[in-house]
Structures are given as C-alpha cells and as structure tokens.
Structure 1
Amino acid sequence: MDVIYTTVSDDLPIRQGDIIKKKSKAGDVYGLIITADCDIAKSKHKNHYTWIEIIPTQVYMDTRWALEEIERIKIKQIRPVLEFVNKKLKARALSQIAEAKLLDWIVEVGVERFISKLMSEEDSADIRNKIRGLFIISANTEISALEKIQTIAPLFNLSTEKLIEDARKHLTKDDGFPDFFFLPRLPDELTGGCVALLRHIYSVQDENIYTCEANARIEDRPSSFFRVCRLVDRVKYSVVQKTTFLFSRIGMTSEFESLTALSADFSTSQIFKEAI
C-alpha cells in the first residue's frame, strides 16, 4: 500500500483528501479537497467542495522559494557594495546613497558603465562580481528566479551544495506555521513531488467535479475537475490540520469584541428599519 495516496473506485463519491485535476491549454490545474466528509455525507457543503491548489515542486521553488531566497541574498550582498560606493562618492564630495538608489543606478546604467564610473583597476574583483550579481537579480529579465540564483551563485561565492540544502530544509521543515505542505509524490505530472498551497483556497460546484476523467468526458465536460487519487488518512489529516492551524482564530481584545457587537446591532437594525 502506498504511504501517500491510493486509487479509488469510480463509483465512490468525492470525499476529503481527494486529489482533483482539471485539464487546460494554459496548464493542468490540481487541487486537494478539504471539505469535511461529514459535511459532504449530510449535504452540508451547500453544493460546493472546497479545495486547495497544488503545484509541481519545480514551479513552487521557482515562483516562491527562489524569490524569497533572492531577497535574502540581495540584503546580504548589497551591504559591502553600498559601503564601497558611498566611500567612493564621499571621496568625490558627493552625497551618499541608500540601497534602493544603488540598485536603481546599477540597473539604469548597466554593469560596465557603473564600474567604469566608480572603479579603478586596483579595486577588488570581488566587488565587481557583487555588482554584476546585483544587476542580474535586480534587472527585469525573462530568466526565471531559479536561473538567476544559479547564475549569481559563483559571483557571490555561494555554494551550490548549501543552496540545495537550504531548499531541502525549506521543503521539509516542520516548525512554525508554514503556508504550504510538501507532498513527495502524486500521479501524472506530480510524480516528482508537489506542494499544496494552504492559502490558495477555492471552491467547485458538484456539477463541475467528477469521480474520474471518463465520466467527465461521457458528460461532455472535458474541462471539469475529476479525481485522480485520494490521500491516505494520515497525510490527509496532516494537511487539513496545518491548514486549520494557519487560519486559527486570533483572540481579540474585549474592546474590539464590544465594538463589533455594537456595530453589528446598529447595522442589522438599520437594515430591518429600511426593509420595514
């Protein structure tokens, strides 16, 4: 038995933990049903299933982790460059600049022009490399965030092994309140792993979700959602638990609660007065 998911008979209804898929020319969409089984069984879900978006690990690392990593790298690497540049400006009796202005300047004039304006042959090659790296991660280009990290790694003397380890730790961390859940394997395009985005919550109506792809095609609804598998209970409950923790109610002050009650009373009174 698989420790992550199981296949489900087509005659069984949609339930919590089902992995669903919708085919699209723009790219297939995957989701995880989180509506409680008891609500579905008793028809309390009001004709809607709630689902969480799932994306391939590669997409998650490129569009989320890599962007956060770039910001961390930028914060660390810009400091020595800023100190160097401000020292040069001070020597010329020019005004000091802040980090944002420095990055704008590098991007605006380009690396070579920037270096030629401020640097001499005697200046550190390390600073030149850092300037090139800052340009790459700050300029608007078509290369992906992961490609940017791979390109700047040697310029900033970043160990590839360290980056890989940081990425691994990020995916497998189990502390705090992460807003994602890493699933090491699912069917189809997700065999290499995927990530459930716990903040990306949507709903789908009963008539737009089928227990298998064949049923969707029979009903001439090829663009509807259909089930591809079901998470085993332990994994399913873990995802739901983390989602619940993420959105746990934060206790409010007594003043806020009192104001809420007064405002609700006033609003409802006004509504009914207007209705009468």
Structure 2
Amino acid sequence: MDYLSDGSVMASDYILGISDDEGIRQGDVIRSLPAGNDAQVRYGFIITADCDIAQNKASDQFTWLTIVPAEQYLDLHWAPQQLRRITEKQTRVACEKLNGRITRFSAGLTPLDAISLQKWLTEATPEAIVAAVESSDQELISLLACVKLALGYGSSGSRLADLRQAWSLLGRSTRAQQAAVKEAFDSERGFPDFVLVPELPMANGYGFVILLRSISTIHSEELFRSEIDARIVGKPDAFHRIGRFSDGLRFLVAQKLAFLFSRIGMPTEFELACEAATELLVDSLKIDAGGQ
C-alpha cells in the first residue's frame, strides 16, 4: 500500500505516495499554512519542468500555479465574469425598453445609453426609474434590479450569491442555475484557464481548481520538502510539499497551460468575416421544404 509523506494512505490513483527525501519535482502539491487569524491556507502546483530542475536552469526558482477550493473559484473568478456578461446584455435590453417608453410618453427625458443608465441606477431605485418613464412594469423593475445587483450595488458580499439572485430576477429556474454552475467546470468548452481536481492531499473538502493564469515563483530556500522540515527551521507558515500528482495529471496541466498561452488571436475583422462566411455556408446548405 502507498502512503503520503505524513504517513496517511494515498487518497487516490492521481495522488502519489512519496518520501520526504525526494527532491521537488513538477507535479508536487505545495501548501502554506496561515500566519495569522485572518490568513487562509494557500495551495499550489509546481509547474517547472523536471529537466529544468535537474539541470538547474530555473536559477533556484520554482514556478507554481495557484490552487483554490472550487467554491472560491466560483465566487471570486467565475461569478464576476458571469455578472459582467449580465451587465452588458441586460443593460442593452433595459435601455431599449426604457427608450421605447421615453420616445412615446416621456418627451422631457433624454434617451439612455449604457453609461447613463448605469449612472442613474447609482442614484435611484429601479422602481423610481420605471415610474419616471410613466410605467409600473414589474418585469422591467426586476430587469433593472438585476443590472444594479450585477454592477455590485447592494451586494451580499458573495458574488456567487449575487449571481444566483440576479438569475432569479431574470426568471431563471433553480435547475437551470445548477446546470450553469456545472457548465462552469466543463473543461471542453472554449479555452478553459483552469483544471479541476476532485481533491488534494491533506486538504479538507472536495473540488479544487488549478488556476492556469495565476503563475508565481518561489525561491528554493523558501520551499520545503515537508511540513516537518519547515517547522525545524522555524518557518511553520512557509510553503512545503504535501503530495504529488501522478504523471498523467501533471502532464495534463502542463499541456493545458501551454495551449492556453500559445493561442494566436486574430483581429476582430477576421473573426467577423469568419462568422459571415459560416452564415453564408449554412444558408447555401438549406434544403427546400419539399425536399427529402
């Protein structure tokens, strides 16, 4: 049976049992314990290639990727992105609805754009704005409340909770919300900048996310092979190894990292031209209604 460096049984086949005597390698999972009451446990993934470590090409520096609990990823990374999308889309929809009312019934008001509407929301409630255009449309009030919340006004302090409330204001069902959260971890959609792992060695909870864009370096003297080594030298809160991912998982992370930063972006005009060409192709493939 395999064991981890603290003597516990190996958690799964993607977390390897290692000895404290082994040197730091790519795929090692590292941890830093809290230094104060307000601090949090920090986790990382060593991404420096084994050949660079062996040949000392990294100048005694290790490159590592931040790992966070899945719930923290949703709250601090994914939910803000979703709220920005809601702001962009629903602000446009709200402007169209309000400007329609302004054109027909409120000649004294200037037509709104995204900037002026968002500024108005900082000064007035959704109900007051709707009343100003001589309306009592509850759906429009909910839409404006959604935009205001997405902008961060009246936030609960959790952006994930704000997102769920914004979805509810838009009429999105609980089942649809749960499906959207699951899609957040779909690594096959688009160009993901994360890798989800079910668990970490010596860590509570399930679901942790390796952030491929959160890249840092640490000097070899500040990274210890075990928690015991860190405590011996009087640095209990220093980074130390708590386990190692299997070759398959570490290679997967390295591959996704390389793919993420090797993509070549094209100008907007080129992307639009590709979309137009695709639409023309789809139109040319239409089959007559009477065809087979």
Q: Which letter maps to 2:86?
A: I
- What does the per-residue CA deviation read over 1:97-156, in whole Å, with 9 as the maximum and x for residues that have no partner? 102211220221223332332344xx4321122122222222433522111122222221
8 Å contact from structure 1 (residues 54, 195) kept in 2: yes
2:46 is equivalent to residue 33 of structure 1: yes
The correspondence of residues 227-242 of structure 1 with structure 2, limited to 5 A, is 227-242=241-256
- What does the per-residue CA deviation read over 1:202-241, in whole Å, with 9 as the maximum and x for residues that have no partner? 1111111111101100111112110011001100100011
TM-score normalised by structure 2 residue count: 0.78
Aligned to 2:115: 100
Secondary structure at the aligned position of 1:216 is classed as helix
- Cα deviation for residue 44 of structure 1 reads 2.6
2:224 is equivalent to residue 204 of structure 1: no
Aligned to 2:32: 22
8 Å contact from structure 1 (residues 61, 146) kept in 2: yes
Match for residue 162 of structure 2 among 142, 145, 148: 148
Secondary structure at the aligned position of 1:43 is classed as coil
Match for residue 219 of structure 1 among 210, 217, 233: 233
Distance 2:76 2:197 in 1: 17
Secondary structure at the aligned position of 2:76 is classed as helix
Aligned to 1:53: 66
Distance 1:225 1:17 in 2: 15
Match for residue 113 of structure 1 among 104, 123, 128: 128
2:76 is equivalent to residue 63 of structure 1: yes
Higher helix proportion, which one? 1
8 Å contact from structure 2 (residues 66, 210) kept in 1: yes
TM-score normalised by structure 1 residue count: 0.82
Distance 1:249 1:149 in 2: 30
Q: Please identify, of 184-193 and 165-174, the stretch whose mean Cα deviation from structure 2 is larger.
A: 184-193
2:178 is equivalent to residue 168 of structure 1: no
Secondary structure at the aligned position of 1:87 is classed as helix
1:154–1:250 Cα change, 3 Å: closer
RMSD after superposition: 2.1
Aligned to 1:11: 21
1:193–1:249 Cα change, 3 Å: closer
Which structure is richer in relative contact order (CA contacts within 8 A, separation 6 or more)? 1
The correspondence of residues 130-141 of structure 1 with structure 2, limited to 5 A, is 130-140=143-153, 141=155
- Structure 1 runs (4+) greater than 6 angstroms displaced: none
Q: Please identify, of 156-165 and 55-64, the stretch whose mean Cα deviation from structure 2 is larger.
A: 156-165
2:173 is equivalent to residue 159 of structure 1: yes
Q: Which letter maps to 1:81?
A: A
Q: How many residues align?
A: 249
Give the unaligned 5+ runs of structure 2. Answer: 1-9, 266-292
2:55 is equivalent to residue 42 of structure 1: yes
Q: Please identify, of 2-11 and 61-70, the stretch whose mean Cα deviation from structure 2 is larger.
A: 2-11
2:96 is equivalent to residue 83 of structure 1: yes
Distance 2:110 2:232 in 1: 71
- Cα deviation for residue 170 of structure 1 reads 2.4
Q: Which letter maps to 1:108?
A: E
Give the unaligned 5+ runs of structure 1. Answer: 252-276
- Cα deviation for residue 10 of structure 1 reads 1.1
Distance 1:143 1:179 in 2: 25
User: Percent identity among equivalent residues?
Assistant: 34
